[in-house]
Structure formats: C-alpha cells, structure tokens
Amino acid sequence: MFWDTLGKLFSFREIRMLQRLADAFKAIPCQLLTFRCKQLLAGLLAIAELLGALLFSLPQTPRGQKINLDEWDLVWSDEFDGDALDRTKWSPTWNYVRRGGVWHSDQVSVSDGALRIRTEYKATPELGPGWYSSLVETKGLFEQAYGYFEVSCICPGANGLWAAFWFLSEGMFETPTGSAANGCEIDVFESGFHGAKNKKMRQAVNQAAGFDGYTPGVSSGQILGHYTGKNIYGQFNTYGLEWNENEIIWYINGVETDRMTGKWVPQAAHYLILSVEVAGNDGNPGIGGDGVPFEDYNGSIESNDPAIFPLDFIVDYVRVYEKKP
C-alpha cells in the first residue's frame, strides 16, 4: 500500500530506486552490529550511487544476482563465423529514411568472426546524401517466448547515434490491451550517452520496455534507468534478458540491473533486432528525434570528428537459451 501511494507521486524508475534505498538503509544496523565492514562499505557506496541516480539521473552499477548459464540450454545462436550475413537467421533492413539518417542493407557485413553494422556519411547513394546505418532482425525466421537472450558487442563510440539490441512482436501494433501480454517492445540495451557531459554517464546504457504501440496517450513505456558497462566503446560487454511467465530481468555482463513484473511481462513470442540509429528527424541529423528517451545527452552526429568514421557496431555473438527442466 505504501509503495502504491508513492506510485501516484513518483515515476516507476524513481519508485524502484527508493525501494533499493530503503533496502540498503535497512541492512546497515545489522552490518554495524556484526562488524561486516566490507558489506557496510558496499552498502554505503550503493546508497551514494542511488542518491546520485535519483537526484541527478547518474548511472548505476549493476549489483543484482548473477546469471548462471549452467541452468540453461543453448537453443539458438549466431557466432558470425562466416563471411556474410546468415539469411536463414537474419533479415537485413529494407532501405528507407530512419530518424536522422538512412537504414540501408549495404551497411551490414560479417568478417573476422563478427557482425558489423557500419555508420558513415555517403554523398551520392541511391537515397540521397546523408548518414547511413542499418538494422538486422529475425522476424519470420526465429521468434521465441521465454528464455535467456544475450548479445556480446562493442558499441559505436560517437555522439548522435546509438546501438541497440531489442525485441519486438506484432502484438505491439494491435488494438491496445493495457498490458504487454500480446506483445511489446523490450530494449535489452541502447547505447545513447556517448555525448554526455558526465564521463561516467558516457559508459552507460539505457534499458526500457513498452506496450500498446507508439501513439502518445495510448502507449505505455518505462525507462528503467541507466547502467554502466566496462569501456563499452572499446571492449566487448554482454547485455542479457531473462524472461519467464512472471517477470523480465535485465543483465549487464551477467549481473542483474533491474526487473519488471505484472502487466509488463509479455506472453507471446518476439523476434530479435540489432540496429544503429542516427539522431534527428526526416533524414536530417540533429539532437534526439521521435521517441528517443536520451535526446538531451548525446548531441548530434555532426559534432564528431569526421576522422572517426566509418564506425562499426561490432557484435561477437547473439545466443538464446531455454531453462533446463
């Protein structure tokens, strides 16, 4: 009842952080009485970080449970060991203007054991000059409900663009039902903070979920918060989602960041998407764009040193597991 009352005053994300603060403060007396200094220090650091997240929207360090892959069976994967996109597993995008750039299938390649989605400026392509990137998806080829889903990747390090690993279902576009049960969008991660003023924020990713389409006033969505990886533009990090009938749980490098229950948990199969987007609208680069939750952080792609392009989103693998019986 207490948290339900606060829910009328604070956002979902703020309530989650207040709950974590309450739990951290409750643990302090026991830690003091039992002289558990390491646990006490860790608790105080967590409290300081939570206050920073609550008051100043700073990123949090993943601190939850660890995923134990010994409890799971691998049922689908792509290790990208060939020299071309496996069309039995992935479909490339059709070519069209997307936010501040263009999604084009030519921007996708496989080499050296990795999928590469390239972002670059093209002066004379078929759809006109602009910033080109791409998307690949498993729609019509592979869809699954429940399991553990994980990507290992290096994010493209530039202002005004972001990489993402996300799920989508046709239920997202059906008549609104007031829940995610028939399908939704789940963002396992989005890397939209390279241009942030705070240096720690630059290593953060966004995690979110939404259902009932994309029409303002009809759709429902929640940004769970910002969580840090380790040198996400220079080394491989893993981003995962555990999904069962009752909850969805996000992970970074095998450590839980957050979870959702109730109306946020889909019960229908979803397909997987890997993408890079350029901020802006109608093919014109800029800051943000329709439906972008981090438009104030990342700046415009045109604010970068041109020498860093072309720039690749590098994916080592995508793996899907089912829970062992």
Tell me which residue of 148, 34, 163 sits closest to 107, measured CA to CA. Answer: 163
Q: Give the tokens for residue 141.
A: 């080829």
CB 251 within 8 A of CB 76: no
Which residues have CB under 8 Å from 201's CB, separation 6+? 58, 59, 193, 226, 297
State which amino acid sits at residue 85: L
The predicted pLDDT at position 3 comes to: 43
Q: Is the pLDDT of residue 8 over 90?
A: no
Which residues have CB under 8 Å from 100's CB, separation 6+? 131, 160, 277, 278, 279, 280, 281, 283, 284, 285, 286, 289, 300, 301
In angstroms, the CA 320 to CA 168 distance is 15
Structural domains of the chain ordered from first start: 1-56 (no CATH), 59-323 (2.60.120.200)
Cα 228 to chain centroid distance, Å, stands at 12
Which residues have CB under 8 Å from 81's CB, separation 6+? 113
Q: What is the pLDDT of residues 230-253, one digit of tens each?
A: 999 999 999 999 999 999 999 999
The predicted pLDDT at position 200 comes to: 84
Answer with the residue of higher pLDDT: 59 or 143: 143
